[in-house]
Amino acid sequence: MLTKLKQRVQTWLTSTATLFHNLGLTPNHVSILGIIFAALAAVAYSQWHFNPLLLILAPVLMLISGLFDALDGVIARIYGEATSFGGFFDSLLDRYADAFILCGIILGGLTEVSWGLAALMGSLLVSYARARAEAAGVKMESVGLAERAERIVLLALASFLSYVWIDALNWGILVLAIVTNLTVIQRAIYFRKASQ
């Protein structure tokens, strides 16, 4: 079942990437769109007190940002537009996107500050651990519980639930803090074994 779902998602991403490419968008353009939507999500999270419907809008904007993050790589691969700078730029903007969204949640008072900061540190270090390991020649894809896609899905689910149960996002951030930091530990252990 998951294999069929993955195939459908890949097919959809490929057709959407074709549409974006035909519109003249490069992978870097799509990466920039992703960070813009992440920043808008952060603003929505931070301002939810003014309108609780922002608790629905924020995760939608975050999911759109995640979609653009997936699409930039698909466009680059399909159309032979992958560059070293593009990979660096995408990764850099992804870290900003993660930080924007988590800071928006913290500033909006939707989580305990300490839990939010732990989730922020864990999210950044998951990505750093992968980048550092792969620079040393050890592949880290699929190592650990909380890669970026899983983190976005977890935050989106907790966010949608928070519209009817405001503490849902607080607890979702705690879970995120735990799983991200566990992922860092998993990657450290994996790297130690793989590099010996």
Q: Encode pLDDT of 105-121 as tens digits.
A: 999 999 999 999 999 99
Q: What is the pLDDT of residues 31-52, one digit of tens each?
A: 999 999 999 999 999 999 999 9
In terms of residue numbers, what domain contains 81?
A: 2-194
- What pTM was computed for the model? 0.91
The burial of 192, by beta-carbon neighbours within 10 Å (0-12 exposed, 13-18 middle, 19 or more buried), is given as: exposed
Is residue 93 within 8 A of residue 34, CB to CB? The reply is: yes
Name the token pair of 15.
Answer: 């057709």
Count up the domains in the chain and report the number: 1
Minimal CA–CA distance to 115: which of 179, 54, 40?
Answer: 179
C-alpha distances in angstroms, 53 versus 57, 60, 81, 178, 188?
Answer: 6, 11, 39, 28, 40
Catalytic residue (one of 69, 72, 94, 98): 94
Q: In CATH, what number is assigned to the domain containing residue 73?
A: 1.20.120.1760
- Active-site annotation holds for 94: yes
% of the chain with per-residue pLDDT over 70 = 96
Q: What is the pLDDT of residues 73-86, one digit of tens each?
A: 889 988 888 898 98
**What's the average model confidence in pLDDT over 131-140?**
90
